[in-house]
Structure 1
Amino acid sequence: MTLLESTRTGQLHLRFELRRGRTVLTRDLQKAPLLIIRPFELPCGTSMVFVVSPSGGLLGGDHSDIRVQVGPGARALVLTQAATRVQPSPSGAAATQALHFEVAVGGRLEYYPERTLPFAGSRYRQTLRAELEDGAELGLSETLASGRVHRGERLVFAEYRSQVEVWRGGQRLYLDQWRLNPGEQTRAPGTWGQLDYAASGVWVGGGTVQRYPAVPGRLATGESAGGAVWLRAASARGPQLDADLNLAREQLRAQLFGAKPLQVRR
């Protein structure tokens, strides 16, 4: 690895712990271009942070390393300030991101990043692994655009890969893999149809889902063999997808976590 390449590796390592009845950030390791705004305490007691990047997006060869630990009884919410823009990669190198989450018994971690927006000719690969202790709670979602649709860049990125794994006590509860390599054949009707925005998510909690959110033709939920609750959604419009996802997310949070709706002010 050259010196130039090493300077493009961003790191963000966070640890949240419960101190005197409040969730506090006890570890904060940052290496540009990954940064966080100071933690904000929500009315429900959850500690919220926004991940920000001062750069114009991810370039080929960039790597992001994000690790979040949540201690017993602590509650953390991690959001991103803006969409993840994956820039074109003339060299063919992929921008990569690795996320590793650890949640202790009685802890809760939620990670709801903004949309990933792959530009024409871009390559992006992401892995996310969450390790939970018994009694830990987790909520994750991700959304993807087919490209810069309003600029005519629909399914013209070079590659998009995402792998999400959730483990508890040595048992894998959930595995989700996306691998998209657009080419001439993927521009034919039927690949994504007329839909340009997609989402997936997973939630693990101690509650029971009595009513699974669903929107015919747009959103479905269910349960994995390991007991994790999964979500799939798609839409022709980004705002519609976001509205469907937010509503379903709050319904699942209420049933699995016994949680009140998130009150996030951007």
Structure 2
Amino acid sequence: MKEGDLAFLLDKCPVLEKLLIVGSRWPVCLRVQSGSILCVEVCTAIVSEITVLHAPCLERLLLWEAWGGGGLTNMCSRVKIGHAPKLRFLGFLVPGMHELEIGNTIIKLGKARMLPSFLRCFPNVETLYIQSDNDGIKLWETPSSHTGEFKLKFLKEAGSIECVQNNIKKLVFRECRGNRNELYFLKFIAEHARVLEEMVIVLTNGCSPSDLVCAKLRTFMACAKWASVCCKLMVFQSSFHQEGTTRCHQQAFDLSNQDPFDVSRCPRGNV
């Protein structure tokens, strides 16, 4: 199936609401122009580009292991969002794998420092999922990154993010290992998110809520000056047998499920 075939398929399905592409070995170049589509999900596929031209009803644009199709010199998948006024769920976006274009703004997801620029494109976001990689989240990328100077600089630069200050109600931080950068990121959110109701921390595989990592985490967060006095801090052990992003195709594809990224209720066999 080639680009023209996908375009033909969508054009001939004027009432199509959900589209799922899984396991494509040929580069997917998908252009979404539909007055009916509600959900587009692309999983374990080679994806050169996804462009949302005109999708007034689109609510979910979901990616899972959508690799770039440009060969070794260009492994980046480009996601372009044009007219999608009802888009409520977007992810997972991976640094080094995805490039996001919204209107005239292009965000190359190459560094964790791009997070402020990324969040400023979504001033109304209410739920934010962050996943740490195998080396932990990297907020500073200089040899002297362990000094307080760079930590304070990052916090100062990121302090004016509207969604963090005024809209984020829930933060889910996955694959937490309790390293220094993760702790400072969580503390930053705690001290700037004024309407935060829940901070959910999921420890990486092998860590449990009763071990030293959890104790270190709770002690550090207890010292934060929380912007929201009503926020609940919850720490859980990963329910999956290995590290990495968990994904439930069926749950995400079910529009009655209000949060397609919440895999806590997903049966093991569907991940």
For the aligned pair, the TM-score class normalised by the smaller chain equals: 0.3 to 0.5
| Larger RCO: 1 or 2 (CA < 8 Å, sep 6+) | 1
Structure with greater strand percent: 1
Which TM-score applies when normalising by structure 1?
A: 0.39
TM-score where L is the length of structure 2: 0.38
